[in-house]
Amino acid sequence: MLYELRTYHAMPGKLSALNDRFEQYTLKFFARHDIRAVGFWTTYIGPDNHVLIYLLQWPDLATRETRWNAFMADPDWLTAKAETELNGPLVARVENSILTPAAYSALR
What would the pLDDT profile of 78-98 be if each residue is shown by its tens digit? 999 999 999 999 999 999 999
Please check whether residue 23 lies inside any domain of the structure.
yes
Please check whether residue 78 lies inside any domain of the structure.
yes
Please check whether residue 107 lies inside any domain of the structure.
no
What is the extent of the structural domain holding 86?
Answer: 2-99
Q: What CATH code is carried by the domain that includes residue 76?
A: 3.30.70.100
Q: Where are the extended beta strands (E) located within 11-90?
A: 36-42, 51-58
Give the separation between CA 78 and CA 66, rounded to whole angstroms.
Answer: 17
Give the three-class secondary structure for 45: coil
User: Which CA distances in Å does 35 have to 7, 56, 71, 89?
Assistant: 17, 7, 9, 23
Indicate yes or no: pTM above 0.95: no
What's the pLDDT tens digit per position in 3-52? Answer: 999 999 999 999 999 999 999 999 999 999 999 999 999 999 998 899 99
Please check whether residue 22 lies inside any domain of the structure.
yes
Domains of the chain: total:
1
pLDDT at 10: 97
DSSP structural state of residue 101: -
